Amino acid sequence: MEKDEIKSKWIAMRNAKSINPQLLYDYAIHCAGSKLTAQEFSAGLQFQDINAMIDRVDHELELNILYDKNGQFIKVIQ
């Protein structure tokens, strides 16, 4: 999977306000250079701050995020 495809799917996932663990894994493997197996990655996810991970990927993909006045996510804008 190429970075542009991952970015497109990431935007769709974020705007749907859902988490796709497979997409997180695909990003880790194809964009971040992770060498973990899917099982190792999945096991490690439960010990991570998922919001911090999402913010990091948003930043690395250079996305523009729209938040409300309370800092709550609204959507990814292009």
pLDDT tens, position by position, for the chain (78 residues)? 788 899 999 999 999 999 998 999 999 998 888 899 989 998 888 888 988 999 999 999 999 999 999 999 999 987
What pLDDT is recorded for position 45? Answer: 86
Residue in the structure block whose two tokens are 């999402």:
54
What pLDDT is recorded for position 31? Answer: 86
C-alpha distances out from residue 61 to 5, 42, 43, 46, 69, Å: 11, 22, 24, 23, 24
pTM equals: 0.85
